Chain A
Amino acid sequence: MAWQAPAVRAVAGPPRAAVTTWLGWAALAGALLWSYRGTAADIGAVLGPEGLAQMAAYGRRLFPPDLSAPLLREVAIGASETFAISFLGTLLAVLIAFGLVFFASANLAFAGLLFEMERPVVRGLRLLLYGTARGLLNLLRTVPELVWAILFVFMVGLGPFPGVLALGVHTAGVLGKLFAEVLENVDPRPIEALQGTGARRLQVLAYGILPQVLPHFVSYSLYRWEVNIRVAAIMGFVGAGGLGQRIHIAISLFLEHQLLTLVLAIYALVTAVDALSALLRRRLL
C-alpha cells in the first residue's frame, strides 16, 4: 500500500504552506499600502477627470511633430551618436568582460578538474586572482550607468565619448557576471576528454570550453546591446551626448513639438536595433 501515502498528501494539501502563503499575500498588500502612502501616490489625480484632461491637453500640445530641416538634422546627428554609444559601449563591454571572465569563474580560475594537480601556493595565488576579478566585476556592475557617465564626463569632458566609456564599464560588469555563470555550467566531460589526450590548458579552453560557451556569450551580448540602445538614449541627460541631450533640452524649454520628434526617433532607433539584433541572433546562433 505504499502508493497511498503520496495520494493522500496530495489531496489534503500542505496546511502549513497555506498559512504562510496567506501571510505572504498579506505582507505584500501591506507593503503596497505602505508604498502608496510613502510615495504620495494619487491614482485619482491621474485617472480622475482633471488628470485625464490635463494629460490629454499635454498630448495635444505634442502634435504635430516638428519636422523642420534643422531639427531633423539635429535628430540625425543625435541618433547616430546614440547608436554609436550603444554599439561601441557594448563592444568595449564584451572586450573587458571577455578579458576578465576567465579569471572570474571558479572552475577556470582555481577549482575543479583543471587544477587538481596544482600546488597549494599556486592555488592560493589563483584564488586571489579570482577574488580580484570577481570584486572588480561587482564594482563595475553595481555603479549605475548614469553615475559612471557623470564620472567620465568629469574626466574627459562633455560629448558621446564619456557615454561610450560609461556604458562599456557598467555593461562589462553585467556581462562578466552572465559570462561567468555560463562558464561555470560547462559540461566537464569534453574537458576531461581533452585533458586525457594530454591537451594543455589553452588547448582545453579553445577546443573544450569556447565551443560550448560562445553561442551563449553572443546571445547575452546581443541582449545587452538591446538594453544599451535604450540607455544610450538617455546618456545625454548628464551631458554624455546622443538623443538624450536634445530631449533634456526640449523638455526643459517646453519645446513639445521637438520632443515628440525626438521621442519618435528613439522609438524608431530602438525598434531598428531590436530587429537587427533578432536578425543577428537568427543568423549567428
Chain B
Amino acid sequence: MPPLTRPPVAVPFPGSRPSRFARVFALLFGLTAAASWWAARVDLPTLFSREAFRNALVFVADGFPPALSPTFLFFLIRPALETVQISLLGTAVALVIGFPLGILATASLAHAGPLHELDLSGRPVRRLLRFMPYGLSRALLSLFRSVPELVWALVFVRATGLGPFPGVLAIGVAYGGILGKVYSEIFEAVDPRPLEALQATGASRWGVFWYGMVPQAFPHLVSYTLYRWECAIRASAILGFVGAGGIGQQIEISMRMFNFGEVVTLIGLLVLMVAGTDALSLRLRRRVL
C-alpha cells in the first residue's frame, strides 16, 4: 500500500466554535437522516423482537452444517464455471464497448486543451462539431452505467431468453459504461508534454493517441480492468437472481426452498471464487505495473 496522500485535518480543540458551514451541514445531515428514517419505515422493535430473533436462529440452525454431499458439490461445478465465464466474457464485452467510447469521451482528445488550441481558436462551428461526439459518448456512457446491471439483465433476459448470455450482455453494457468513463479519466490525466511533443513533430491525432497517451495510460487501464473483473465475478453471482445463470441462480433457488445449508455452501463457494480472482488479478497487476 502507498503511504497516505491526503493532508491531515485539524481536530477541533475542545470548546472551539464550529464554522457556519459545519453548522449548516450538521443541520441538513440531521434532517436528511430523520426524513430517511421515516421514509425507510425503520422499525427497531421488530428487528429486536423475539420473532425476528427466532427467524434468524432458524436460518443459522438450518445453515449449519452446510450441505456438503458429493452429489451437491459435483452439481455445483457447472454453475461455478458458468459464473467465471460470464465474468470473463462480460468484462471483454465491456472493454469492447468502453474503450472506443472512452476515447471519444476524452476531452483532451476531443475538443479541449493544448492539442486543439491552433485548430479551434475562433472557429465555433468546428468546435461544436468536435464537441458533439464527445458529448454524445459521455451521455451514452452515463446511461449505460446508471441503469443497474440487474435491470439490464432483466431486459436482456427478455430479449435473448434465460441463461448465462443475458448475464454477459448485462455486465458488458453496465461495466462498459463504467470502464468508458474511467478510461477517459485516465487518458485525461496523462502527462500532456509527450502529447505536445508528438504534435509538434506533425503527428496526427491518432498518432498522438497511440504513441503519446496509450503508453502512459496502459498500466492503469489494465489495472482498472482487472479490478472490474473482480467486481464482475461478484456481479455475475447476483445476476442469476433474475435468471441469468451462474451460482446466483442456485442461491436464489436454494433461498426460495429455504434450504439454508445449500445457501451457506454456495456463499462459501462464492467467497472462494472471489478470493481466487483477487489473488490472480493481484499477480497480473504486479506484472503490469
Which DSSP category, helix, strand, loop or mixed, fits chain B's interface? helix
Listed residue (A31, A38, A81, A165) with the most chain B CB atoms within 10 angstroms of its CB: A38
The interface bits of chain A over 12-56 (1 if a CB of B lies within 8 angstroms of the residue's CB, else 0) are: 000000000000100000011011101111100110000100110
Instruction: Check A42–B1 contact: CB distance below 8 A.
Output: no
Q: Nearest Cβ distance between residue A14 and chain B, in whole angstroms? A: 12
Docked complex Cα distance between A185 and B42 (Å): 37
A88 cross-chain contacts in B, Cβ below 8 A: 33, 36-37, 40, 42
B245 cross-chain contacts in A, Cβ below 8 A: 39
The interface bits of chain A over 119-154 (1 if a CB of B lies within 8 angstroms of the residue's CB, else 0) are: 000000000000000000000001110110011001
A63 cross-chain contacts in B, Cβ below 8 A: none
Instruction: Check A186–B4 contact: CB distance below 8 A.
Output: yes
The answer, yes or no, to whether A103 is at the interface (CB within 8 Å) is no
With A83-B36, A211-B10, A237-B242 in contact, do A151 and B85 touch (Cβ < 8 Å)? no
With A35-B89, A39-B89, A182-B4 in contact, do A163 and B46 touch (Cβ < 8 Å)? no
Docked complex Cα distance between A267 and B144 (Å): 10
Tell me which residues from 241 to 283 in chain A have a Cβ below 8 Å from any Cβ of chain B: 241, 244, 247-248, 251, 263, 266-267, 270-271, 283
Listed residue (B40, B88, B143, B168) with the most chain A CB atoms within 10 angstroms of its CB: B40
The interface bits of chain A over 148-164 (1 if a CB of B lies within 8 angstroms of the residue's CB, else 0) are: 00110011110111011
Instruction: Check B1–A230 contact: CB distance below 8 A.
Output: no
B165 cross-chain contacts in A, Cβ below 8 A: 39-42
For residue A212, which residue of chain B has the nearest CB? B8
A-contacting 9-mer, from B65-73, B155-163, B200-208: B155-163
The answer, yes or no, to whether B182 is at the interface (CB within 8 Å) is no
Q: Nearest Cβ distance between residue A205 and chain B, in whole angstroms? A: 10
Instruction: Check A251–B158 contact: CB distance below 8 A.
Output: yes
The answer, yes or no, to whether B289 is at the interface (CB within 8 Å) is no
A32 cross-chain contacts in B, Cβ below 8 A: 88-89, 92
Instruction: Check B267–A83 contact: CB distance below 8 A.
Output: no
Docked complex Cα distance between A219 and B7 (Å): 13
With A142-B270, A156-B47, A234-B150 in contact, do A151 and B59 touch (Cβ < 8 Å)? yes
Docked complex Cα distance between A212 and B3 (Å): 11
B35 cross-chain contacts in A, Cβ below 8 A: 84
For residue B151, which residue of chain A has the nearest CB? A247
With A35-B85, A160-B40, A161-B42 in contact, do A146 and B241 touch (Cβ < 8 Å)? yes
The answer, yes or no, to whether A285 is at the interface (CB within 8 Å) is yes
A156: which of B3, B9, B43 is its contact (CB, 8 Å)? B43
Instruction: Check B47–A143 contact: CB distance below 8 A.
Output: no
With A38-B85, A214-B9 in contact, do A81 and B40 touch (Cβ < 8 Å)? yes
For residue B268, which residue of chain A has the nearest CB? A142
Instruction: Check A83–B39 contact: CB distance below 8 A.
Output: yes
For residue A181, which residue of chain B has the nearest CB? B1
Interface size on B, residues (CB 8 A): 69
Docked complex Cα distance between A24 and B287 (Å): 11
Instruction: Check B52–A156 contact: CB distance below 8 A.
Output: yes
A85: which of B40, B150, B164, B167 is its contact (CB, 8 Å)? B40
The answer, yes or no, to whether A224 is at the interface (CB within 8 Å) is no
Instruction: Check B55–A155 contact: CB distance below 8 A.
Output: yes
A165 cross-chain contacts in B, Cβ below 8 A: 47
Instruction: Check A251–B267 contact: CB distance below 8 A.
Output: no
Instruction: Check B9–A267 contact: CB distance below 8 A.
Output: no
Instruction: Check A40–B163 contact: CB distance below 8 A.
Output: yes
A270: which of B56, B82, B146 is its contact (CB, 8 Å)? B146
For residue A242, which residue of chain B has the nearest CB? B40
With A45-B160, A147-B263, A155-B52 in contact, do A161 and B6 touch (Cβ < 8 Å)? no
Instruction: Check A34–B85 contact: CB distance below 8 A.
Output: yes
B255 cross-chain contacts in A, Cβ below 8 A: 147, 150
Instruction: Check A266–B148 contact: CB distance below 8 A.
Output: yes
Shortest beta-carbon contacts, A-B, top 5: A84-B36, A35-B85, A84-B39, A84-B40, A39-B164
A/B interface sample: 21 pairs, CB < 8 A: A31-B88, A38-B164, A39-B89, A39-B164, A39-B167, A39-B245, A40-B164, A41-B164, A46-B160, A84-B35, A84-B37, A88-B36, A88-B37, A142-B267, A144-B270, A185-B3, A186-B4, A219-B6, A237-B242, A267-B143, A271-B146
